[in-house]
Structure 1
Amino acid sequence: MATQRIRRKPVPEATEMALLGPSRDDEAPDSSSIHPQTHLDDASESGRGSKTEEQKLPMWQPSSLSLLAITGFIALFAALLISLELLNWVSTRHHGLATATTHSHYLWTYGPTAILTAAMALWHRLEYRMKQLAPWVEMARQPTNADQSLLLDYLSPFELTTLWRAGRRSQFAVVIVILGKLLFRLLIIFSTGLLVLQTTPVPSNDFPLISTYRFNATGFDPLSVTGGPVFSAIGVENYNLSLPVGTTSTYAVQSIQPSSLDSPFNGTVSGVVDGFYSGLDCEVGTFNFTKWASEIQNLTHDYNVNITITSPSYSARFANFGSWQEDYYPGVSLYRAYTEVPTCTDVRSGAEFDCIGFVVMQFGPMTPPNPNYIVANSSSQLICKPGYSINNYDVSFSYVNSQQTGDLKAIRDPDSTNRTLPPSAWDIYLGMQQSLTMAGIYSDDRFSSFFIQINNRSLSEYMDPLILEGDVKGAYSSLGAQIAKQYWMTPAYDPFHGLVSRLQDRLVIGSLSLRAMEAILIFLLLLTLALCFATTRKAYVSRDPSSIGGLATILARSPDVMNLFKGTGTASISSIRDRLSSNRFSTSVETNGVVSTFAIRTSGTVSKDAEYSGEEVKLGWWRPFPSTIPGHITIILSPLAVLVALEVLLQYSQKHDGLADADADGYLRYTWAYMPALVMVSISICLQLLESATQAFSPYDVLRSGSANAARSLFNCMTSKPTVYVLFLSLRRKHFAVFAATLAAFLAGFLTIIVSGLYTAELVPLKFQVDVQMLDAWNKTGLYPNGDINMDLVYGLIFMSNVSYPAWTYDTFVFPQFKTLPAVSIDSQNNTAPTKGLLNVDLPSLRSAIDCNDVLSVEFNFTRGQLLFDGTTSYQMNLLSWPDCTDTTVYTTNTSSSYLFGTTYQWDQDNSACPEISFLYGVIEDGVPIPENLTYLTCNQYVQEVQVNAWFNITANYTVDTTFGIPTADESTAKLFLNMTVNDFSPSGWINFLNETHKGGNDLDGVFQLLVYGMDSLPIEELANHGSAAVESSLRSLWSKANAQFYTEVLRESPNVSQPTRNGTAIDTARRRLIQNVVSTRILEAFLAAIALCTIMTYVLMPTRTLLRHSPFTIATVASLLAGAEMLEEHVLRPGSEWGADSEASEAKLWAGWMFSLGWFGNEERSAGVGPQRRFGIDVGKAERSAHQ
């Protein structure tokens, strides 16, 4: 069938300039005038001498390559660099940019990425135009071969391939724009980690503070010191007890707090306050002896000797040194530590002074021939002078949830003046000895026992005098600081100004992202500056050649070149290259009369009329990566695969409280910022390839489908237009495949923005399933306390120093010891036993209990006894219901006033008729006990076994933790385990360390002192209330807690058989987990689903496997399809049409009324007698699909 030539209407008469039409935003006319037969590089110079009657026409130059556009990028990169440094300066100076929360992270994660994504879109326009015009630049400079001109394609290959080819050809402008795009992608990836939410201290200078204590030692009596300072010092060193507020291991300072507190307030408060330091000025002494021995009698020895120890400055004489009895055993080396008060003399002045001597000796071994003698082999000794000072200290207190903690930092001001108070340094030492006595340090040498205990050393180590000196000084300063805190300070309200530093979640600049982005921006800035020199920024072509129609107008004026392409519509690229190999190509402007012509010229052999090919050659089709089967699979499945992965990861994150452990402060945090962004950038690259290929195929697909006007086909160039305009135009022209591909690429640009808020590191409790193996069993025999148990110390720590309960106890509960077996964590198959965090488990526990009854006042009375030598009077208490219980006596002070009284009674005899324990308290009037003024409680103690649910701190050696609640007993499981009698144990014998018996004129024993002066103090006025429920409750609680500590020591035994296991749950509350954000995930999934749908629509709506033989981005491809076409003849395309722009106005005038198609065309008119000559290409009319149709 002959080709049908279709015309809608005749070509309108129009002037040459009317054909040009207005320029568009993307096209800026160049003011360079064009002169006849002028090479483009010389056009500007020769144009200055042109005649006025000659037509001067502007060359075409895209606005994206203008000097203004390039300098705009320079300004943009410089502004971004300055902005980054400014943000970093603000972040550093103000400790972050702003206070934020993880819930508002969209505001600061999307911003930087969105800005850079928009900037990259602008750079893409520059890159496209630079690649598109590369062959025209080469032809404008000089005649060049086909590979660097007509066959040059920088738009369809992969970017790295293009980069390599452009570099080899020294086309540096193309190299620069490709490098710029690659760097832009890196910049976007790094921007996802630019702003980081981090807990940061934010200081406020000159903040109003209050000193809540001041130093005041008026009336200090060393003998009034209790065991509290010793308990605090030992608790810090040996029981992981926090230091009392206002003290360090060396200093005691004034406590301070802000005048007003945020709620909750977390951070530090700093200021300059007074601080106390007590220390020892020590010198190492010498003790000359060869033998120091005396005879042993019955393996015990009592020795009293006088010795003298000398040092460079001091001489110390010890009288009756070592006057005590000690058991020694033959053949054994013994070490002994002594803390003595010798008579000290300054060897220079001869003046005596108070000093302390510390001596450690090694005795023995006692072996034949003198088994009955002690031999002193070696010794280590110090002579120390005590002292103290009050100075200015720069202190910093920590607050957690508005509560002051014991985390104190204190630095002494070296320029401050030493000050003292009326008490002497020796009074401090006497107070230490009193505190050691009251704390129950039962030893012949209490201070030696004290410093040995808190330093956990063996006596043999102290044979080194340097070790001895260090430990003695440390122990002395620590105990002195606690005495000063408790006895030398009084409450105050002294305002001053200092520094408050709040811990806030602040938005800070990530250092790695910052430096990486700055490096990239500097590189981009240098590249853009180089681009100014790599391109002359002249116009190289008469109109935009990106569309088929635009390029056709130029090729129509290049007959010699078109002759080379006759019959090549189905030729292979190698055949075309061979045909063009002997030619060189350039562009020029010629003037014929008043009309200027822009054309491509060739300098080789030109065939006047090459033969047409009438056969449909079986050749391969041009298939860029998106058109290949791997491309189809990758582009369609990659967003779907990522969508599925996101959903799987989200479900895993929600089920397992996060994806994995996360380090929010280390460099590892950048991995979850950069890796998702890298994945999204990869998807975006694939979709940009699809967009570019689809837009390139679009006009040919329209031409293949049948007759189409010039606007829908020849000027249907979407690749040169902005994305938003392409979306609008493709919908208007019903190019739905282009719309789908462009929308997919457009949505892909948002993926990197959205993914920047996908992951955050949050504190999330991590759960483990744990099996707990019991390690001991309960014992009902052997209930007498072991001699190694120092219950005074235990009680003092619990009731006076507020230390956490010792391991395996809490309140009145005693828990069995256990170990955790290898656990399986919920978030991983981790087959290891947990080593940190919290553990929740139900345990068979013991509970200490005591039941009390209030005895009516009519059931007891008093019989006056004798007046004692100390001024007190004894009264025998008569218990009418227990006539055999006669060991109850009340001692009263002879006074005319009333006072509060409280005492504890217990019966040592095994008499079940007597109450085990009783408490008598109330008011004594005029020194006479009256039953109506007193409350008498009789109590029995016992032990229950009960199932208790409790939380344990694994990190802190299984101490009970109350973060999620206190231990709770299941009362339905409670049963009697053991009845305890006072023969077994009674805490009252150990609770005697307060030294407050007659405080305020009252008469209270150790139990009642602890009741009203301990940590959980009861108002002392409650003792005057007859039958007070509060007093009874406090007594029962105190007694049961004390008993629980005894039971934990004596009621355990190693089991004979394997103990059962129990199931528990471990939680690590300090672990940060990588959380996948639900909102970001859903948005990403919606975008990815839309992208996948768009890609499928693109492939369905536009099959491209058999559409084009070669890349449409080369001049040669278009020329091969247009060679011999009627549409290029002058009766169809008027002269001068190569000038102008592809605006809609100019498109309407070019080929107006003509219809075009792609396929096989015949030309019977020019080849009569030869037979039908056929060509494959683009022309007016309706083409045939096959050459043999």
Structure 2
Amino acid sequence: MQPWEELAKHPQPATKTLLLDYVSSNPFVSFFRSLKHRHWPVTSVLIGSFLIKGLIVVSTGLFVLHPIVRPRDVTMDMTETFEFPPFNATDVDDSAGLMYAGPLLNEIAYLPGTNAEYAAALFNSSHPVNGTQNMTTTSTTFIADLSCEVATVEPIVKTWCPASTSCASLYLTMDVHNDNCRMSAWPKNNMTLRVQNNGLQWGQWFGGVYTGSCDGKDSELDRERLVIVTLYKEPGVISRNATNTTFTNTTAVFCKPTYKLQRSTVTLDQSGAIERVEPGALLDQPAALTPFMIAEAVRATISQVDVSNIQQSVARDYGIDRKQFGVSDVFLNFILQANPSKKIADLSDVKALGPAAQTVFRSVAVQVVKRYFLVPSNATVAEQISGEVMYSQQRLFARIPTLRVMESFLCLLIVVGLFLGTRPSRHTTPQDPASIARLGAMISQSKNFNQVMSSAGFLSLENLKSLLPGRYHGQYYKDTYATTPRAPLFAIESHDTGSQDIVPADGKYWRPVSMSWFSRSALLVVPLIIIIVLEVTYRQSQRDDGLLVVASNKITDYGSQFVPALVMVLTKLMFSAADFDLRIMDPYVQLKRGYASAKSSVLNKTIYTWKADAFWNAFVHKRIAVGMSTFSVVIASFLTVAASGLFTTVSISHQRSTSVMRMNSFYDPSNMTSNLNGTFNYTTSIAARLVVYDRMTSPPWTSGSYILPTLSLLNSTSGAEVNDTAALIALALPVRRGALTCQLIPRSDIELNYTRWDSANKEAGGFNNGVIVRWPMLDDYPCTTMASYNKPSEQITGVTDGPFGEWTNFDPSSAVGKNYTSPCPTSYGIYGTWEGRRAKELNVILCWSSVQELNGTARFEMPAWKLQSLSVDEITVKNVSTRFDTQLNLGTAVFLGSKGNISTSLDAVFTGFLRNSTTNSLDTDLLSYDNFDKFYERIQGIYGAATAQIMNREGRYTNLTSTRTTFPATATDLSTSRLKQNLVSTRILQSLLIAMLLCALIALLTSNPKNVLPKNPCSIAAQASLVAGSSMVADLPAHAQWMNDREFVQLFEGKRYAMGWSEEGYEQGRFGVDVDLAPKQRRKGGWWNWR
């Protein structure tokens, strides 16, 4: 309407009014033209159009999926519960002490449900939630504490040594006290606190953690204390009869143990590790467990830990010569190790000893409780309580930059809307001149303009410009010939027209750019290319687990959202442009064919109607080309919606080939620095025992009985670690294991001789029990340290009623033959059940050790090389060594210091074999002859796990000159975000594009835009030149300008119209639109002609 508004203002040149075209030109051309002419409404509308298209593109990247952690209320099942049966504190084993020592190695984690302070009953969600990160509920917790006070040691310390000794060791008794407690002669057992008295030329530190009772009556409560004492003995010898002996730096601390059971709010991670504890209500303490029983258990379990290596470490940390550090008490060594400052003055500083003792006591007490008082809940009656899980979930988030851009666009749209909505309305024309007939009515009263335009139908726009040199404007005037009052008439008046020479027509037809063969071909080629590209990229996305890696700078992420939408918007604009030009020409095509109805020709204004109405009207009037073109644009409207989900950024498993470097190999077991039959350092033994006890998982590069070579993603030339994004590595590699091949001696081949003990008991009246066990020799070798009656012989003595078992490593010095090639077993065990003075059942097992190598397939979680799975091929097993010195001495290397089960006659090795890690009880049923298969399986598992830990720590070397150094591997990238194409969006887009392509194909086959119009009909002058001087316009009444649509349509009922040359006009005749009076004739051509 801008040209009509310009006509309504004041006389202006034709280029600014009659020839002004904002309809058919390129939007960017129209935009700059409107700026040039200061036609701000047009500028605003175009800006609004640009903003809407920008909003469509930007909105496709508004939302993005991000993982977040959210809480969720669930029901929890208590998988553990506290139980407090009768408890003997002195019967505890070494596992609790080891579980305190283990974390000191910085590679052993606390057991599930424990940390350095708390032991909590474990729980789990009744209905697991995917992505759970931690769980929180109310659980029973245990915490122990030591309340320590400074004690004074009287200067006079009594010394004593047995008369039968040389007094190389002195036992001390002293008076220790503070305001709350006095121990006048402590320790009561005067063989408890001992110092060396060997006349060395240097002084020594001594001390320990002991028990003591405050002076008072036995009936008095709260008298027991733990006493921490340290002292320094000067160089020299203290005589046997010395009194009033004084030691320097003598320090004592009284510590009172306590513990609490609470209902606390506990948070566990997925592995059961404690993340947070919020103490709650106190619970009653069970009568069966006193605080001092906890203290005794702590001392008992710690005392079984090998102290020698800890002593060396503490002496080194405190800067004390090892010869001067005589503290052999494990508890005190742990206290000194827990002290953060580690100054020599701390050995006599109660402010340092007290807090460090609290640290050690709390942690070990937690492990004691975990070992003996936390038991698995009965699955059928497990307590259920409410709790909360924190789980990871993909949630839809708005991208803030995109949101801000959209908000800016919307604000600008509001401004544009306000400008267009608030600008004053101008009554420019009586009715909307959207159709050919309406425009004819608008110019019907413009006599001069009609006369000029009547013979200009075939002129080009350039010629029209020369034909309209003056200035023009529209005005209303009263109809003087009207017999009744009517609305004023509208006419276009001209000013300063000068000479208006008729310019001859150039004889050329106009054709819009979108109707060129290049543009028409693009309607088919572009959708086809996009369909093919979508299919190619989808297949590549499926094959490569994504198209590409999404960079951290977000360019790929944003590009994958906006580029598809931009392509689809441009595709729609291409189809919209073609459809627009097609609908502009459609009425004239109908007129050019002749005998066209008014509704499909001169009254047609589908260019200004909704797409749905235009589509329906096109098919009602059998205009197939226009209908299919309009339908393709309707379909194109959904392209952007479908494209918004075309690409997603996901963490996906992307597999690729890579190489892994082997960092070390395995020693020949007989050439290890400390061979398997030798002695090992402190950390090695602890690791082996904890794995056997099931108190920790296998350390890195081990899995149960298997040991793996250490691997790395290293550059073989530079040695630098490769910055690899792999989340998983899978490869085939050699693994090793220690194995025992065992056999059970048949009962009929075992001889038992009780004579020696029967005679001794009869003569002395004693009750000592024993037996000599004999079994057949293997190839004439006795295979034990003694033989009798030409049979291997072993003596068992001191057996008590119940299960018994002794494990013995064969002494290779008893073998005959070069390189220990005898058939003797490397170890053997004698076990069974004793009752009275006889073995109720006695079995002998012989075992041969070997180190084996197998081919395995391992899968590691990166970047920490955490072993996820390991499978081995038993067919590939081969013995690396079967020598005697490859036998792992379980008694000294693994269970060193372990007391075994002191309530039975089982040694430490058999106790380890029989221990049930779940119930912490002994499966003595395995000692039965009939259960040998189960017992053998247990032996193999424990021996293999222990051997793997020994070889892991002391069986590797890095000289790989004779070993294959690299392995082919498959890397799986999970941590890398990759751009993946969505199948559903791809198929929807392809379907829409195929539909558009088919619509375009039908529209092209049923349309022929050649030789229709001599010029673009979108300006007032161009359209007027086609109707001016026609009988259609001449027959229109003056008041037709003001008729509504229904009245106006009635003027054209029953009439037919055509466009072409007529004899009217100047010498060339007139080219334009007029009433078609010729009878209807059959069209030439077929169905492919434009309908």
TM category, shorter: 0.7 to 0.9
Q: 1:395 aligns with which of 266, 273, 277?
A: 266
- The alpha-carbon deviation at position 530 of structure 1 amounts to 2.2
Q: Matched residue of 1:584: which SS?
A: strand
Q: Matched residue of 1:681: which SS?
A: helix
- The alpha-carbon deviation at position 978 of structure 1 amounts to 0.8
Counterpart-to-counterpart distance in 2, 1:939 and 1:806: 27
* Percent of aligned positions that are identical: 20
- After TM superposition, the structure 1 stretch with the greater mean CA deviation from structure 2, 676-685 or 1031-1040, is 676-685
Residue 505 (structure 2) aligns with: 615
- After TM superposition, the structure 1 stretch with the greater mean CA deviation from structure 2, 547-556 or 835-844, is 835-844
Give the conservation status (yes or no) of the 8 Å contact 1:561–1:600: no
User: Is the aligned partner of 1:275 residue 2:275?
Assistant: no
Shift of the 808–387 alpha-carbon distance from structure 1 to 2, 3 Å rule, reads same
Residue 928 (structure 1) aligns with: 838
Residue 1034 (structure 1) aligns with: 938
User: Is the aligned partner of 1:746 residue 2:649?
Assistant: no
User: Is the aligned partner of 1:682 residue 2:584?
Assistant: no
Q: 1:981 aligns with which of 877, 880, 884?
A: 884
Residue 603 (structure 2) aligns with: 715
Residue 114 (structure 2) aligns with: 247
- The alpha-carbon deviation at position 908 of structure 1 amounts to 1.8
- The alpha-carbon deviation at position 240 of structure 1 amounts to 5.2
One-letter amino acid matched to 1:728: W
Shift of the 535–636 alpha-carbon distance from structure 1 to 2, 3 Å rule, reads farther
Residue 868 (structure 2) aligns with: 961
- The alpha-carbon deviation at position 725 of structure 1 amounts to 3.1
Give the conservation status (yes or no) of the 8 Å contact 2:688–2:950: no
Q: 1:1157 aligns with which of 1059, 1079, 1085?
A: 1059
Counterpart-to-counterpart distance in 1, 2:24 and 2:54: 22
Residue 19 (structure 1) aligns with: none
Residue 583 (structure 1) aligns with: 472
Counterpart-to-counterpart distance in 2, 1:871 and 1:353: 37
- The alpha-carbon deviation at position 813 of structure 1 amounts to 2.6
Give the conservation status (yes or no) of the 8 Å contact 1:252–1:277: yes
Give the conservation status (yes or no) of the 8 Å contact 2:105–2:683: no
Shift of the 144–818 alpha-carbon distance from structure 1 to 2, 3 Å rule, reads same
Counterpart-to-counterpart distance in 2, 1:307 and 1:166: 109
Counterpart-to-counterpart distance in 1, 2:110 and 2:696: 10
Residue 21 (structure 1) aligns with: none
Aligned-CA RMSD value: 5.5
Question: Where do residues 84-99 of structure 1 align in structure 2 (5 Å cutoff)?
Answer: none
Shift of the 767–925 alpha-carbon distance from structure 1 to 2, 3 Å rule, reads same
Residue 794 (structure 2) aligns with: 888
Q: Matched residue of 2:849: which SS?
A: strand
Question: Where do residues 610-1009 of structure 1 align in structure 2 (5 Å cutoff)?
Answer: 610-616=500-506, 623-624=512-513, 626-627=514-515, 637-661=525-549, 672-704=560-592, 708-762=596-650, 764-780=652-668, 781-783=670-672, 784=675, 785=678, 787-788=680-681, 790-801=683-694, 803-821=696-714, 832=722, 834=724, 836-864=726-754, 865-866=756-757, 872-881=768-777, 883=782, 885=784, 886=786, 888-891=794-797, 893-895=799-801, 899-910=802-813, 911=815, 912=822, 914-930=824-840, 933-956=841-864, 958-962=865-869, 966-969=870-873, 971=875, 973-981=876-884, 984-992=887-895, 997-998=900-901, 1002-1009=904-911
Give the conservation status (yes or no) of the 8 Å contact 1:811–1:1041: yes
Structure 1 residue runs without a partner (length 5+): 1-132, 288-300, 346-350, 364-377, 400-404, 824-830, 1184-1189
Counterpart-to-counterpart distance in 1, 2:439 and 2:175: 115
Give the conservation status (yes or no) of the 8 Å contact 2:260–2:283: yes
TM-score after normalising by structure 2? 0.75
Shift of the 239–608 alpha-carbon distance from structure 1 to 2, 3 Å rule, reads same
Residue 1021 (structure 2) aligns with: 1116
Per-residue deviation, residues 845-872 of structure 1 (Å, max 9, x unmatched): 3232221112111222223344799965
Shift of the 684–338 alpha-carbon distance from structure 1 to 2, 3 Å rule, reads farther
- The alpha-carbon deviation at position 717 of structure 1 amounts to 3.0
One-letter amino acid matched to 1:1083: I
Counterpart-to-counterpart distance in 1, 2:522 and 2:739: 73
- The alpha-carbon deviation at position 653 of structure 1 amounts to 0.9
Question: Where do residues 1130-1169 of structure 1 align in structure 2 (5 Å cutoff)?
Answer: 1130=1035, 1133-1140=1036-1043, 1147=1049, 1149-1150=1051-1052, 1152-1158=1054-1060, 1161-1163=1062-1064
- The alpha-carbon deviation at position 968 of structure 1 amounts to 1.6
Counterpart-to-counterpart distance in 2, 1:863 and 1:460: 59
One-letter amino acid matched to 1:155: V
- The alpha-carbon deviation at position 696 of structure 1 amounts to 1.7
Q: Matched residue of 1:156: which SS?
A: coil
User: Is the aligned partner of 1:1128 residue 2:1033?
Assistant: yes
Give the conservation status (yes or no) of the 8 Å contact 2:107–2:699: no
Give the conservation status (yes or no) of the 8 Å contact 2:183–2:212: yes
Give the conservation status (yes or no) of the 8 Å contact 1:544–1:1141: no
Give the conservation status (yes or no) of the 8 Å contact 2:9–2:473: no
User: Is the aligned partner of 1:446 residue 2:330?
Assistant: yes
Counterpart-to-counterpart distance in 1, 2:387 and 2:463: 79
Give the conservation status (yes or no) of the 8 Å contact 1:201–1:501: no
One-letter amino acid matched to 1:1007: V
Q: Matched residue of 2:440: which SS?
A: helix
Shift of the 1118–799 alpha-carbon distance from structure 1 to 2, 3 Å rule, reads same
Counterpart-to-counterpart distance in 2, 1:328 and 1:675: 87
Q: Matched residue of 1:961: which SS?
A: strand
- The alpha-carbon deviation at position 889 of structure 1 amounts to 2.8
One-letter amino acid matched to 2:368: I
Shift of the 647–901 alpha-carbon distance from structure 1 to 2, 3 Å rule, reads same
Shift of the 777–525 alpha-carbon distance from structure 1 to 2, 3 Å rule, reads closer
- The alpha-carbon deviation at position 650 of structure 1 amounts to 0.8
Question: Where do residues 245-644 of structure 1 align in structure 2 (5 Å cutoff)?
Answer: 245-258=112-125, 260-261=126-127, 266=132, 268-279=134-145, 388-399=259-270, 405-413=271-279, 428-442=294-308, 443=310, 444=328, 446-447=330-331, 477-489=362-374, 495=383, 497-501=385-389, 503=391, 508-510=396-398, 512=400, 515-516=403-404, 519=407, 523=411, 526-527=414-415, 530=418, 533-534=421-422, 541-563=429-451, 565=453, 568-569=456-457, 570-572=459-461, 576=465, 579=468, 582-586=471-475, 592-594=482-484, 596=486, 600-602=490-492, 604-605=494-495, 610-616=500-506, 623-624=512-513, 626-627=514-515, 637-644=525-532
- The alpha-carbon deviation at position 798 of structure 1 amounts to 1.5
- After TM superposition, the structure 1 stretch with the greater mean CA deviation from structure 2, 933-942 or 1147-1156, is 1147-1156
Give the conservation status (yes or no) of the 8 Å contact 1:992–1:1005: no
Residue 24 (structure 1) aligns with: none
Q: Matched residue of 1:1028: which SS?
A: helix
Per-residue deviation, residues 527-582 of structure 1 (Å, max 9, x unmatched): 58726842567876444422222222222233344346455542445963893653
Shift of the 440–470 alpha-carbon distance from structure 1 to 2, 3 Å rule, reads same
Counterpart-to-counterpart distance in 2, 1:1046 and 1:603: 110
Per-residue deviation, residues 1026-1071 of structure 1 (Å, max 9, x unmatched): 3531112221222223223333445433436263333221224555
Counterpart-to-counterpart distance in 2, 1:834 and 1:337: 53
Shift of the 835–514 alpha-carbon distance from structure 1 to 2, 3 Å rule, reads closer
Question: Where do residues 103-252 of structure 1 align in structure 2 (5 Å cutoff)?
Answer: 133-136=1-4, 149-159=17-27, 162=30, 177-189=45-57, 191-192=59-60, 203-205=71-73, 208-215=75-82, 219-233=86-100, 238=105, 243-252=110-119
- The alpha-carbon deviation at position 647 of structure 1 amounts to 1.8
Q: Matched residue of 1:1055: which SS?
A: coil
Give the conservation status (yes or no) of the 8 Å contact 1:203–1:502: yes
